């Protein structure tokens, strides 16, 4: 979408999502972020996330899009279940899915 280094993390937006498993919770969270970006005309650059038994509570920090400064390249339409995986890796976790643009 844009260079993350160009996004100022000044405005917090709270997000709550629920799903029966971690993979679907990832899709729900990404789609909640995409929705907030669209309706608020914002970009996000910093996040705090807590997951507990199918409930994700997060805060995304960002700012209103400034086309001249952010130079947005694409608009993401939604997260899909294509290649959806969450797996442990050395030192943490890897989460992936394909997004529609």
In tens, the pLDDT along 44-54 reads 999 999 999 99
Tell whether domain 4-100 is in CATH 3.30.1490.20.
no
- Give pLDDT, residue 23: 95
- State the pLDDT at residue 17: 97
Residue corresponding to tokens 């999502």: 17
| Whole-number pLDDT of residue 62 | 97
Q: Exposed (0-12), middle (13-18) or buried (19+): which is 84, by Cβ within 10 Å?
A: middle
In the chain, where the domains are located: 4-100
Cα separation, 53 vs 92, in Å, equals 19
Please say if the pLDDT value at position 4 is more than 90: no
pLDDT digits (tens, 9 = 90+) for 57-83: 999 999 999 999 999 888 899 999 999
How much is the average pLDDT of 26-39? 97
pLDDT tens string 5-28: 999 999 999 999 999 999 999 999
How large is the average pLDDT for residues 91-99? 94
pLDDT of residue 7: 95
């Amino acid at each position: 979408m844009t260079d993350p280094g160009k996004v100022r993390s000044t405005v917090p937006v709270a997000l709550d999502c629920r799903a029966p498993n971690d993979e679907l919770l990832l899709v729900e969270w990404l789609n909640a972020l995409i929705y907030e970006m669209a309706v608020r005309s914002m970009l996000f650059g910093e996040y705090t996330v807590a997951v507990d038994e199918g409930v994700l509570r997060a805060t995304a920090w960002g700012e209103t899009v400034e086309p001249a400064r952010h130079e947005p390249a694409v608009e993401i339409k939604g997260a899909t279940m294509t290649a959806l995986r969450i797996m442990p890796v050395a030192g943490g976790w890897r989460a992936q899915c394909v997004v529609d643009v």
